[in-house]
Amino acid sequence: MSIVTIENLTHANGGKVLYKNATLQINKGEHVALIGMNGVGKTTLLNIINGTVSADHINLNIHPKIKIGYLDQHQEVNLELTVLQYLRESYQKLFEREQQMENLYAEMANNYSEELLTKAIKIQDELTHQGFDTISKKIGLLVDGLGINLQLLEQTVGSLSGGQRAKVLLAKLLLNEDDFLLLDEPTNFLDIEQINWLAKFLQNYPSAFLLVSHDRNFINTTCNIIFDIDNYMITRYVGNFESFLEKKVYIIVNMNQHIQIKRN
């Protein structure tokens, strides 16, 4: 199933042409890397898909039922929240349901009724079904894997350094479990151990993502589709980064041989 389709993308940035009638299609569950020389428009394409940049011309079709998550290190957040409160926002509706359940039990302490008990039990079953009891474990997994110091959990988001905040934003994005992720340099501020952990996490990520990274090894281990931006167009290659390089070299060699034969 296609979740994002782009046709006839033409766009220039500051007078510099980035795309001419480019096309792109991303299917459900695909792990995609967007590659190309610096300045070809990789981040611009992420912003176009996310809706923060308007293309000069495009036919963009995003599946109406998917939720897109974007790693934006400049996004506005409530700086007064503690890190733990911010991360828990991913499960805000479940925490609200828990509070409703607790209110019912508190009401029953003063005025017991079977109706109130039935409502409370229904909410408890709902929370259990949606994995409410595993929230702390999920948060702990991301915090540990991305190297977020436990002492930071009680600090406000506004008190964090740039690197610490970037890790927290990435953790929050991954906790959201969106249907499609846009990841712009997610390994920034991570050390080798944390990069390896993130690579394994993304390998097993069930939903689709579109990744921009300068770390070729990271791309090679996380992505099974490569989109190559070259000459204002986007070419799709199936396979990891090593497979892409082999195919790209083969195409260039054969193209050069063809040109040489025509000249002779």
> Which pLDDT tens digit goes with each residue over 75-96?
788 999 999 999 999 999 999 9
Q: b/e for 24-34, b at 16 or more Cβ within 10 A?
A: bbbeeebbbbb
Strand partners, 237: 226
Q: Which of 121, 142, 175 is the last residue of a domain?
A: 175
Q: Which of 122, 148, 175 is the last residue of a domain?
A: 175
Residue 8 contacts residue 52 (beta carbons within 8 Å): no
Q: What 3-state class would DSSP assign to 85?
A: helix
Share of the chain above pLDDT 90, in %: 84
Res 150 pLDDT > 80? yes
Range of the domain at 21: 2-67+178-263
Provide mean pLDDT across the span 52-56.
Answer: 95
Confidence of residue 255 (pLDDT cuts 50, 70, 90): very low
Is the domain of 183 the same as that of 168?
no
- pLDDT of amino acid 75: 79
Q: Which of 175, 198, 229 is the last residue of a domain?
A: 175
Is the domain of 99 the same as that of 156?
yes
Q: What 3-state class would DSSP assign to 18?
A: strand
User: What's the pTM?
Assistant: 0.87
- pLDDT of amino acid 145: 97
- pLDDT of amino acid 14: 87
Residue 40 contacts residue 18 (beta carbons within 8 Å): yes
73 domain-assigned = no
Res 128 pLDDT > 70? yes
- From residue 122, alpha-carbon distances to 92, 129, 233 in Å are 18, 11, 53
106 domain-assigned = yes
∠28-33-34 over CA atoms, to 5°?
A: 115
- The 10 Å Cβ neighbour count of residue 148 is 22
Provide mean pLDDT across the span 90-106.
Answer: 93
> How far apart are the C-alpha atoms of 253 and 169, rounded to whole Å?
43
DSSP for 95-126, please give it: HHHHHHHHHHHHHHHHS--HHHHHHHHHHHHH
Is the domain of 97 the same as that of 20?
no
Confidence of residue 250 (pLDDT cuts 50, 70, 90): low
Provide mean pLDDT across the span 125-140.
Answer: 93
Confidence of residue 257 (pLDDT cuts 50, 70, 90): very low
Res 254 pLDDT > 60? no
Residue 54 contacts residue 3 (beta carbons within 8 Å): no
72 domain-assigned = no
